[in-house]
Amino acid sequence: QVQVVESGGGLVQAGGSLRLSCAASGSIFSINGMGWYRQAPGNQREWVATITGGGVTNYADSVKGRFTISKANAENTVLLQMNSLKPEDTAVYYCNADALVRGTGLGHYWGQGTQVTVSP
């Protein structure tokens, strides 16, 4: 009922930047918020950043001051600008949408993830 697609991952050297994009589509009445999560090999999936429908943002301490989550001009799309990247940022990054969906109500919907690799 809802499709969530991430893009923008890649390989970058430490200190560099990447911008990830997440687009949600389908029978969506409204989105309460969207967020980014990441999972490195051998680790649990961890929360990175979220943004509410009203534009309030929150960040994990590990990325605060380096990453920025924002709404894009396209409908139901958010961006994650990642600056000053570190090797420990290497992970698969997943997008989640908290959405009110026609026929199902409120739910959380995940994308397939995009790989971010930061070399030393």
Distance CA 30, CA 102 (A): 10
Strand partners, 45: none
Instruction: Cite the beta strand spans of 1-120 per DSSP E.
Output: 2-7, 10-13, 18-26, 28-39, 46-52, 57-59, 67-71, 77-82, 91-101, 105-110, 114-119
Strand partners, 28: 101
Span 43-89, pLDDT tens digits:
999 999 999 989 999 999 999 999 999 999 888 999 999 999 999 99
Span 9-55, pLDDT tens digits:
999 999 999 999 999 999 999 999 999 999 999 999 999 999 998 99
